[in-house]
Amino acid sequence: MERTERVMLWIGGVVMAVFFVAVVVLAAGFGVDVPGCITEMKPFERDTLFQRTDGRYELHVVARMWAYQMPPVELPAGSEVDLYLSSGDVLHGFHIDRTNVNLMAIPGTVAYARVRFKEPGDYPIICHEYCGVGHQQMVGVIRIVQ
């Protein structure tokens, strides 16, 4: 093996190690939660908001062409929300502005993310995956109050 090849292998290994450490630090130290796909949960057909405990909520959202038909979502600041997302028809995107929530709604599956809303204000929701002619109207909002 030539010297250049050894150097490139070492550089690749160091970059992978740095990336791995960064993911662990973000997940453990900063509470960044990686979204996932729930395989043991059947897709739901109705949008609902449940209050589990004080400050803890569960929101089920079904993305449909061309709307999120969620119930009005108004929560107190500091609320933690378990978000479950499903699609009733085609692929949709689900991004909550000012958060790290960025999910894909895939028909037949349920996507999951947990988010804590610390600051009061409106958190717009947009579909970031082209889903047809009315795609630009597919928006929603979560309102966080003091």
Q: What pLDDT, in 10s, does the model give residues 63-97? A: 998 888 787 899 999 999 999 999 989 999 999 99
Percentage of residues in the chain having pLDDT higher than 90: 67
Q: Which residues contact 18 (CB under 8 A, 6 or more apart)?
A: none
pLDDT for residue 68 = 85
Tokens of 79: 């609320």
Which DSSP symbol is given to 13?
H
Distance from C-alpha of 146 to C-alpha of 118, rounded to nearest angstrom: 10
pLDDT for residue 59 = 95
pLDDT for residue 6 = 95
Output the pTM of the full model: 0.79
Helix H or strand E encompassing 12? helix 3-29
Q: What is the mean pLDDT of residues 108-130?
A: 94
Q: Which residues contact 57 (CB under 8 A, 6 or more apart)?
A: 49, 50, 51, 75, 79, 80, 81, 82
Residue 124 pLDDT exceeds 80: yes
Quick one: residue 121, left, alpha or beta (phi over 0 = left, psi -120 to 50 = alpha)? left
Tokens of 19: 């990336």
Output phi, psi for 24, to 5 deg: -65, -45
Distance from C-alpha of 59 to C-alpha of 75, rounded to nearest angstrom: 11
Distance from C-alpha of 111 to C-alpha of 118, rounded to nearest angstrom: 23
Average model confidence (pLDDT) across the chain:
91
Residue 53 pLDDT exceeds 80: yes
pLDDT for residue 65 = 87
